[in-house]
Amino acid sequence: MSPKAANRRLFYHRYLAHSSLTVLLLLAWAWPSASQEADESRYINSVNSALDNLIAKFSKLPKQPVIFSANLLLAHGVGVQGVPTKALLEYVDALKEAGAQRIEFNPGVTNVDNPEVMEKYDAVVKHIRELGLAVEINVVYARVGNRDADMQVRDFRDYTAPAVKACAQFAARYHPDYLVPVHEPVTMDHRMGIRAGPDAWVAYLDAAIRAIKRASPNTRVGAGGWYGELPYYQAFAAMPNLDFLTIDIYTHTKFDIYDRMVQIAHAANKPVFIEETWRPAFTGPLPPHAMATGVETYTIKGVGSADFEDLDAKWMQAMALYACTHGIEAVTPFYSQAFFAYVTSGPDRPSDPAYSRKVIQAVAQGQRTKSFEAYRSLQQKFGRTTSSPHSNP
């Protein structure tokens, strides 16, 4: 296989790296039926109504400034090798233009062993720093390509030793403002094909924290998850050496649990971030464990569909208001590709190489969407004056 062909294959693995794209590829090109059109209308109306209620509720509450962060999705460990460095740096520039105060990216554990990938990350971190932005690194389990030798996990110990080592290497190399050794532990379990409970993840996290702090004492270390991972979240909150907690919000129906997660963080005297958020995916019936393996895999229409541009802008408004009225330190839209390109037909999922190419082209050509404008407006209204609590070496 040629290098170009190999790079194209990399894009076929979810940037969330949650699961195989087999189901996605089977669904991708089905023409929408009349029933799907009706389902889409009901979906949009339902989410719109819920967001209107949330916005009305949150708007009445006292507000405080928050950090506006953004995920550099094209730098995810499963696909970064196939993205030109120039495109990554232009993406960082565009996120800065949108008002992002902090840039996050999600490298895989095995990326530290790939010199070509690490050179890309070197350039990305250097550029983020040059722009005066904060850096957050969220280390994840990610199968890079189809090579079985990447990381075979037979039990949790097969993951923890290389993961701790990778966290320490990222900390020593970049001295990030924030480093997250684990978020969504149940998701990671499903991707690895194992079942490690809260105690095992706490033991790994404790080892990772100690390794990170030895390598970069000023780096703040965090961990967290989505609403279905509350026992893990509670266990993380009880760790005295953990600096902050994170929550991932992809639904409008679980704010009672999100409120509880925020309260747990506050009770533990830890800052809490919305580390990932986007509107709930438009899907059909979901199989078991879909929430843990990546709902975007099962979408009828993906993140990049122009049908949802207005809804995305409203979602960000609701999430920004939730953050600034509930003592949440930061908010991070995950699918930042939608800041630059929506499509009316063809590939519209963030894992699809054709859609990613459209995003790269749109960034280079200066195209900006309603989501971009909404994010920038919200940052100007609710953003903190600084995004980093300290200066790193």
pLDDT tens track for 208-229: 999 999 999 999 999 999 999 9
Lowest mean pLDDT among 2-16, 119-133, 298-312: 2-16
User: What is the CB neighbour count within 10 angstroms for residue 159?
Assistant: 22
Q: Tell me, what's the pLDDT at 340?
A: 98
What is the pLDDT of the chain when averaged over all its residues?
A: 87
| pTM of the model as a whole | 0.87
Q: Which two tokens stand for residue 247?
A: 């929550």
- Greater confidence (27 vs 91) lies with 91
User: Which run of H or of E encompasses 69?
Assistant: strand 67-71
Task: Give residue 339's identity as a one-letter amino acid code.
Answer: F
List Cβ neighbours of 266 (8 Å cut-off, separation of 6 or more). Answer: 272, 327
pLDDT band (50, 70, 90) for residue 324: very high
Q: Tell me, what's the pLDDT at 18?
A: 36
Q: Which two tokens stand for residue 25?
A: 């590829």
pLDDT band (50, 70, 90) for residue 144: low
First to last CA, the chain: 42
Contact between 248 and 184 under an 8 Å Cβ cutoff? The reply is: yes
CA atoms within 13 A on the CB side of 57: 12
Residue 321 CB burial class (10 angstroms; 0-12, 13-18, ≥19): buried
What value does the mean pLDDT take over residues 304-322? 97
pLDDT band (50, 70, 90) for residue 314: very high
Q: What is the largest CA-CA distance in the chain?
A: 59
Radius of gyration of the chain, Cα coordinates, nearest whole angstrom: 19
Q: What is the C-alpha to C-alpha distance for residues 47 and 252, in angstroms, rounded to an integer?
A: 7
Contact between 327 and 67 under an 8 Å Cβ cutoff? The reply is: no
Q: Pairing between strand 282-283 and 299-301? A: antiparallel
Give residue-wise pLDDT tens across range 2-59.
444 444 333 333 333 333 332 222 233 333 444 566 699 999 999 999 999 999 999 9
Of 10-19, 155-164, 309-318, which has the strongest mean pLDDT?
Answer: 309-318
Residue the block writes with tokens 């129906």: 253
Q: Tell me, what's the pLDDT at 15?
A: 35
List Cβ neighbours of 3 (8 Å cut-off, separation of 6 or more). Answer: none
Contact between 390 and 218 under an 8 Å Cβ cutoff? The reply is: yes
pLDDT band (50, 70, 90) for residue 241: very high
Q: What is the C-alpha to C-alpha distance for residues 251 and 256, in angstroms, rounded to an integer?
A: 12
Q: What is the C-alpha to C-alpha distance for residues 167 and 154, in angstroms, rounded to an integer?
A: 21
CA geometry: angle 14, 224, 110, nearest 5 deg: 45
Topology classification of domain 39-382: TIM Barrel (3.20.20)
Q: Which two tokens stand for residue 192?
A: 């690895």
What value does the mean pLDDT take over residues 130-147? 83
Q: Tell me, what's the pLDDT at 4?
A: 42
- Greater confidence (283 vs 304) lies with 304
Q: Which two tokens stand for residue 274?
A: 């919305």
Q: Bridge-partner residues for 180, per DSSP?
A: 138
DSSP string of 295-351, one letter each residue: GGGGEEE-TTBGGGHHHHHHHHHHHHHHHHHTT--EEEES-GGGGT--BSSS--STT
Q: What is the C-alpha to C-alpha distance for residues 64 and 79, in angstroms, rounded to an integer?
A: 36
Lowest mean pLDDT among 44-48, 146-150, 385-389: 146-150
Contact between 191 and 21 under an 8 Å Cβ cutoff? The reply is: no
